[in-house]
């Protein structure tokens, strides 16, 4: 299927099995940070489903052309969760095939259909409004979510928001835990990353499409106003159990190199430990400073975050939007603080009418 094509073309996708094609996500270094791995699943002689259409248009077109697949052959889009990097090509697929059916878990449906709900899922806007450094970012959110908005936004933020391409879109139907979709794909609800994140299990050959339980070096991502560390830990542990029981022998994830077929349990445990690492980082800060509020905590943690993030910002326009990454880090910290409170390792106090945390 691959032989005879150029190296550039074959790098666009991989054949996982005769009925599963992986279309590779773009590297952040291409400045397409709105990208994920997506999967074409052959349903019968002519029909396909696509899981998470977050690849580039170029890679999708190469994959379809090389495998003699037409857009009209794609009957279903299965969205594992509502983040923009997992739905980047929704508009293209719907334009090419208006009869395509778009499905997502009922709890994430609103994030695809309502752009205002999407940004509220990602960011705690009332918290951001207390800090002047987020003013331009909030103006951009309002510009893209409020009809007839008279907000003036900076070009650097417009570049970011145009990449995200968040707008109201229609979902045809929803699924829930235990449903079986065409392609013999069983829905496994795996909340934490988002409330409605799901994995898809093909039991006949022990393949799990694990979405953003992705096992890549970046670790578990718990940013977002709707993120929940405790739920994400439970979801990761559920995958570990499936591996131990032999239910899962191959993982196909939303990010990183795939397929994953070796050391599954060890890699899942390492992925899980990234959550604990963040919690320990916050405990060390509180031990060193006695008490800290969220802004002070984020100032410290973002110094480390920035070292990793800056290498991608080769375009000077993007440097102005670094506050978006800082707002994301703030949400990660808040979610981890909530988990530490649940574990009774820290507690919240009020100092000068500001919420702060101390070690219990």
pLDDT tens for each residue of 269-291: 999 999 999 999 999 999 999 99
Question: If DSSP states are collapsed to H, E and C, what string results for the chain?
Answer: CCCCCCHHHHCCEEEEECCEEEECCCCHHHCCCCCCCEEEEECCCCCEEEECCCCCHHHHHHHHHHCCCCHHHEEEEEECCCCHHHCCCHHHHHHHCCCCEEEEECCCHHHHHCHHHHHHHHCCHHHHCCCHHHHHHHHHHHHHHCCCCCCCCCHHHHHHHHHHCCCCCCCCEEECCCCEECCCEEEEECCCCCCCCEEEEEHHHCEEEEECCCCCCCCCCCCCCCCCHHHHHHHHHHHHHHHHCCCCCEEEECCCCCCECCCHHHHHHHHHHHHHHHHHHHHHHHHHHCEEEHHHHHHHHHHHHHHHHHHHCCCHHHHCCHHHHHHHHHHHHHHHHHHHHHCCCEEEEEECCEEEEEEC
Instruction: Identify the CA nearest to 33 among candidates 105, 81, 83.
Output: 83
Asked if the model's pLDDT at residue 148 lies above 70, the reply is: no
Kindly state the average pLDDT of the residues 75-101: 97
Q: For the chain, how far is it from start to end, CA to CA, in angstroms?
A: 60
- Residue 257: which pLDDT band, with cuts at 50, 70 and 90? very high
Show me where the domains of the chain are located.
7-113+168-261, 115-164, 272-359
Average predicted confidence (pLDDT) for the chain: 92
Q: Which two tokens stand for residue 241?
A: 């159990």
User: Tokens 């559920």 label which residue?
Assistant: 238
Question: If DSSP states are collapsed to H, E and C, what string results for 109-175?
Answer: HHHHHCHHHHHHHHCCHHHHCCCHHHHHHHHHHHHHHCCCCCCCCCHHHHHHHHHHCCCCCCCCEEE
* Fold classification of 7-113+168-261 (topology level): Metallo-beta-lactamase; Chain A (3.60.15)
Kindly state the average pLDDT of the residues 31-60: 92
Kindly state the average pLDDT of the residues 168-185: 98
Asked if the model's pLDDT at residue 312 lies above 90, the reply is: no
Look at domain 272-359 and name its CATH class. mainly alpha
- Residue 159: which pLDDT band, with cuts at 50, 70 and 90? confident
- The predicted model scores a pTM of 0.93
**Exposure of 219 in the CB half-sphere (CA atoms within 13 A):** 15
Say which residue, 295 or 317, is predicted with more confidence: 295
pLDDT at res. 315: 64
Count CB-CB contacts under 10 A for residue 280: 14
Kindly state the average pLDDT of the residues 24-42: 81
- Residue 4: which pLDDT band, with cuts at 50, 70 and 90? very low
pLDDT at res. 101: 98
pLDDT at res. 223: 80
Q: What percent of the chain lies above the pLDDT cut of 90?
A: 80
Asked if the model's pLDDT at residue 11 lies above 50, the reply is: yes
CA dihedral sign, ordered 35, 36, 37, 38: negative
């Amino acid at each position: 299927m691959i032989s005879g094509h150029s190296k550039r073309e074959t790098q666009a996708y991989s054949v996982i099995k005769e009925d599963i094609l992986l279309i590779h996500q773009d590297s952040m270094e291409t400045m397409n940070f709105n990208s994920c791995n997506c999967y074409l699943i052959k349903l019968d002689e002519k029909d396909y489903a696509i899981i998470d259409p977050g690849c580039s248009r170029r890679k999708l077109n190469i994959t379809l052309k090389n495998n003699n697949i037409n857009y009209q052959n794609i009957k279903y889009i299965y969205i594992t969760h509502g983040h923009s990097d997992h739905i980047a090509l929704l508009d293209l697929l719907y334009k090419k095939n208006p009869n395509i059916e778009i499905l997502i878990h009922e709890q994430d449906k609103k994030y695809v259909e309502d752009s205002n709900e999407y940004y509220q899922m990602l960011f705690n806007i009332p918290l951001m409004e207390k800090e002047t450094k987020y003013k331009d970012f909030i103006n951009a959110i309002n510009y893209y979510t409020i009809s007839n908005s008279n907000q003036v936004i900076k070009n650097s933020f417009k570049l970011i928001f145009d990449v995200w391409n968040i707008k109201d879109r229609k979902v045809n139907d929803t699924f829930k835990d235990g449903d079986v979709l065409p392609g013999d794909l069983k829905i496994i609800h795996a909340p934490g990353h988002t409330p409605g994140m799901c994995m898809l299990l093909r039991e006949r050959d022990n393949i799990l499409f694990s979405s953003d339980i992705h096992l890549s070096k970046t670790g578990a991502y718990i940013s977002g106003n709707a993120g929940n560390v405790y739920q994400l830990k439970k979801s990761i542990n559920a995958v570990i159990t499936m591996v131990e029981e032999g239910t899962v022998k191959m993982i196909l994830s939303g990010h990183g190199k795939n397929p994953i077929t070796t050391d599954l349990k060890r890699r899942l445990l390492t992925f899980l430990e990234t959550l604990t690492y963040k919690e320990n980082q916050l405990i060390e800060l509180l031990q060193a400073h006695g008490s800290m509020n969220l802004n002070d905590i984020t100032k410290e943690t973002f110094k480390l975050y920035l070292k990793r993030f800056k290498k991608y910002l080769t375009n000077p326009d993007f440097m102005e939007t670094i506050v978006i990454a800082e707002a994301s880090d703030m949400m990660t910290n808040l979610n981890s603080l909530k988990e530490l409170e649940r574990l009774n390792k820290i507690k919240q106090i009020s100092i000068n009418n500001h919420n702060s945390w101390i070690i219990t």
